[in-house]
Amino acid sequence: MSSGVDDAVVEAELKRRLRRWRAGSVALFAFALFVTGAVSHRSGAWNHASVTGPHLVRLKVTGVIGSDVSRWTKALSKAEKEPSVKGLLLDIDSPGGSVTGGEELHDAIERFAKSKPVVTTMSGVGASAGYMIALPSKRIFAERSTLTGSIGVIMESPDVSGLLGKIGVNVDELVSGPLKGQPSMVKPISPEGRVMLQGVVSNLFDQFVAMVVAGRHMPEDKVRSLADGRPYTGQQAVALGLIDSLGNRDDARDWLAKTCGLKAEPDVVTIGQAVRRFSFRRRLIGLFGGAVMSWSGLNLDEFLPQDSERLDGAVSIWKP
């Protein structure tokens, strides 16, 4: 009788140990996955030591340009100082975005262009701030159907005061001066506030126009006649002098290689790439839920929060 009890106790203990071992193994594997992801993020940075001989670097700017462009500007600064880097291929597919981000990236590319040639290639769209960052280039290529230009600045502020009034909600604002609360979501812009904000937008627009004048070597009056916010196709932009040539990425690369005195198909290294940082929770969900989701025909990314770039203040973006 006691032997049966002893066997049951031993079996229960073995089961507990097995559960602990399994739990520990899963935790260890999840931790290893997390560490591997962190290492892969660091290794995503460009390492010029892995490339031998003269070569070109490519900076890909896709999507909306946010206010934080530090990963791009840092990569440009590093490439500028590397003797084996002979030129920059700027690959743009962006409708624009933050005025501040566009300006910072423009200035970083301009600094690079002072010591090494830069060529820009545009695919689907290179408009507003996406066009701004191309201006320091020695030559700009685009497809015939590329949408570019859209030179201008926008400042938007939603006004929900009418809706709040309908539901009986009043919001009091205490401000240090009559223009401090402008613009506001809870009250219309005052006439004085509209004049002030229009002055800000006009000044930012003047800065954009000055970049186009300097980058495209065009008279200011001609630039202003083109800078009413409208986009142009690549074919139209060539005729207007906003870009230089119709062509694709290969055409831009070949032109840059020839300009830099490199071989016909030079080595090109992409810099400034973003590697998504997954949270520990996302890693665990991905580890254990990915297979189940795939079996059910669903996409795990649709059920997890994505990284987003928030745009505040003045923007230079083409919005169809």
Q: Which of the residues are catalytic?
A: 128, 180
Count CA within 13 A, CB hemisphere, residue 13. Answer: 6
φ and ψ of 65, to 5 deg: -85, 115
Q: Are strands 147-149 and 96-98 parallel, antiparallel or unpaired?
A: unpaired
φ and ψ of 47, to 5 deg: -120, 105
261, with CB counted inside 10 A (0-12, 13-18, 19+), is: exposed
User: To the nearest 5 percent, what fractions of the chain are helix, strand and coil?
Assistant: 50, 15, 35
Contact between 153 and 205 under an 8 Å Cβ cutoff? The reply is: yes
Contact between 181 and 173 under an 8 Å Cβ cutoff? The reply is: yes
